[in-house]
Structure 1
Amino acid sequence: MRLSSCCLLVCLLLPLPVLAELRQAPEPELRELMQRTVAQADSFVDRFDAEVWLLDMSTRLKRYLADPQERLTLLRLVHQEARRADLTPELVLALIHTESRFDRFAISRVGAQGMMQVMPFWKAELGRSQDNLTDNATNLRYGCTILSYYLKKENSDLDRALGRYNGTLGQPQYPARVIGFWQDIWFVHP
């Protein structure tokens, strides 16, 4: 099968909202936000809160990542990037659970990469072709910034922001899945 036949076949299999999202250039405001935030960090205020949260989340994450050091490293990164982007870390965990089941090498059928399934065109948009989207820190920085932008754009409407993030705006399945994982597995009761 020739390359053009493969591209046509892939395009026929993709839902229309995903195709539309792939064809559109990112919004300039989102591009600027991504450029400003692709290099910052740090998050826990209280050491006790950090230890409690890390232990709790590590226990929940154990079935997806066996290595305790890998779990703690990831959880610190998730907390740091979520807080930096003004997101709830547990929501980010639910999104990662939905997108990749914590597989940092995941690649979607449309080419999205890493735990948060970030589209590689962002590297070119930001002039950062050297960035590795399978690097958890990089992937979380990009993904959290994008989700935060969409939450602000949608006036904190989580369903719409998640739909934009996934390229399925207006379709309830994806937001329902993320929110379901958040409520059933990752939510922390105050």
Structure 2
Amino acid sequence: MGLLMAAFLFLSPATLARAAAQVPEKLSPTLLATLGNATAALPFDTPPESPPRTWFARRHASLARFIPQPEQRSALLARIQAEAALAGLAPDIVLAVIQVESGFDAQAISSAGAQGLMQVMPFWKEVIGRSADDLLEPGLNLRYGCTILAHYLALENGDLTRALARYNGSLGQTWYPERVMQSWVEYWWTPHYD
């Protein structure tokens, strides 16, 4: 393991919260309605379907270094898989984003004010029209984060590097997408199909 990765593993979750200075974008009324509908698509207390067994077993083992309690790992993986599927994202990329953004600390708040697992900026609640939402609630945070990332991926015509940079508020730079991809390769990707 490289020196950079070793240093990364010893950072505290508060240090890992890395949302840059995102600012609200002007969105069309149609897009606002779409984002609002996506964040409200399913109740958050609905149990997600079980993810594929092989995928689940491999990710469960990788997640143990971040979340020691097996029940919490299982519940989080099931929710990540469900929310990623709902947004049309690969769950392994979502895992990598969470690792980089919050180190799997559901209560993380960055110096820029981003909150929760996926470090969602509070302005999104106003943009989407759901000001009472609690971004520190893991299921809701995952719904927002996956929806926003999917929005940026569509906006960037499938360019994951640019979508990740937008998500972080660092469009035009590659340090954040590179960090997410490094996490994905090191922890979440498997060289064969699950």
Smaller-chain TM-score bracket: 0.7 to 0.9
Q: 1: distance between equivalents of 2:82 and 2:75? A: 11
Residue of structure 1 in register with 2:139 after alignment? 137
8 Å CA contact retained: 1:60, 1:186 = yes
Q: Deviations over 1:151-190 (max 9, x none)?
A: 1111111110000000101111000000111111101322
**What are the equivalent positions in structure 2 for 1:91-102 lying under 5 Å apart?**
91-102=93-104
Counterpart pick for 1:149 among 143, 148, 151? 151
8 Å CA contact retained: 2:48, 2:79 = no
Q: Secondary structure at the match of 1:150?
A: helix
8 Å CA contact retained: 1:116, 1:140 = yes
Q: 1: distance between equivalents of 2:124 and 2:94? A: 19
Residue of structure 1 in register with 2:176 after alignment? 174
- 1:128, CA displacement in angstroms? 1.8
Counterpart pick for 1:126 among 106, 125, 128? 128
- 1:25, CA displacement in angstroms? 3.8
Q: Secondary structure at the match of 1:170?
A: coil
TM-score using structure 1 length: 0.82
Q: 2: distance between equivalents of 1:30 and 1:92? A: 22
User: Which amino acid is the alignment partner of residue 174 of structure 2?
Assistant: P
Q: 1: distance between equivalents of 2:120 and 2:142? A: 9
Find out whether 1:32 has 2:33 as its counterpart.
yes
Aligned length in residues: 168
The root-mean-square deviation of aligned C-alpha atoms, in Å, is 1.8
User: Which amino acid is the alignment partner of residue 164 of structure 2?
Assistant: L
- 1:53, CA displacement in angstroms? 1.8
- 1:26, CA displacement in angstroms? 4.2
Larger proportion of helix: 1
Find out whether 1:52 has 2:59 as its counterpart.
no
Larger radius of gyration: 1
8 Å CA contact retained: 1:85, 1:145 = yes
Q: 2: distance between equivalents of 1:88 and 1:82? A: 6
Find out whether 1:79 has 2:81 as its counterpart.
yes
Residue of structure 2 in register with 1:116 after alignment? 118
Q: 2: distance between equivalents of 1:120 and 1:84? A: 22
8 Å CA contact retained: 1:113, 1:119 = yes
- 1:51, CA displacement in angstroms? 2.3
Deviates more, 1:49-58 or 1:85-94: 49-58
User: Which amino acid is the alignment partner of residue 172 of structure 2?
Assistant: G
User: Which amino acid is the alignment partner of residue 38 of structure 1?
Assistant: T
Residue of structure 2 in register with 1:68 after alignment? 70
Q: Secondary structure at the match of 2:150?
A: helix
CA shift in 2, pair 1:161/1:112, >3 Å: same
Which fold has the larger relative contact order, with Cα–Cα distance below 8 Å and residues 6 or more apart in sequence? 2
- 1:39, CA displacement in angstroms? 2.2
